[in-house]
């Protein structure tokens, strides 16, 4: 786990792992908690179409991938919690960028153990947020590759990351 406020790292222009320009790379947040033995995942809706997705966004100057994911989780869903430095996986989708049309994007996803949801946050009123079981989240995910990622979540690994 990492305290992102104390460990900012600038983003490279290209990802060494993928060779993709960071302009086509995004960072997402797998916001989770356990209710008893059941893993719950927080999903948000897209602003334009209302599809269910994970909070995600573009790289941010002065933040590493985990830090950018944590910031997006706060802005889009009011998440307060601890982000972990290790990614749980990747998913791919096409983002529509106005007149440019679809742009292929790769999203690196970081787990965030949610301790609290704020009532007031930047995108409140623009999106809905809701907790789902992993199976339900995979079923309703607005992106097929996101559904695949959700279906492959290692519950034991996330359980060990709890505090």
CA angle 106, 109, 112 (to 5 degrees): 160
45: tokens are 């809706």
pLDDT of amino acid 2: 39
pTM over 0.85: no
pLDDT of amino acid 37: 84
Q: What are phi and psi of 104, to 5 degrees?
A: -70, 130
CA atoms lying within 13 Å on the CB side of residue 144? 1
Partners of 42 in the beta sheet?
Answer: 131
- 15 and 78 in contact (C-beta within 8 Å)? no
pLDDT in tens, 24-57: 899 999 999 998 888 999 999 999 889 999 999 9
Residue ranges in the chain modelled with pLDDT below 70: 1-23, 162-163
């Amino acid at each position: 786990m990492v305290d992102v406020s104390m460990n900012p790292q600038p983003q490279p222009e290209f990802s060494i792992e993928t060779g993709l320009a960071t302009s086509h790379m995004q960072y997402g947040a797998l916001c989770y908690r356990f209710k008893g033995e059941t893993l719950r995942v927080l999903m948000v809706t897209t602003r334009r179409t209302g599809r269910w997705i994970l909070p995600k966004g573009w790289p941010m100057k002065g933040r590493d991938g985990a830090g950018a994911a944590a910031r997006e989780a706060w802005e889009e869903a009011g998440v307060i919690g601890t982000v972990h430095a290790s990614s749980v996986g990747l998913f791919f989708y096409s983002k529509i960028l106005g007149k440019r049309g679809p742009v292929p994007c790769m999203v690196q996803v970081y787990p965030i153990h949610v301790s609290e949801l704020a009532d007031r946050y930047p995108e409140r009123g623009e999106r809905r947020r809701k907790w789902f079981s992993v199976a339900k989240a995979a079923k309703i995910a607005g992106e097929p590759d996101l559904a695949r990622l959700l279906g492959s979540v290692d519950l034991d690994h996330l359980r060990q990351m709890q505090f």
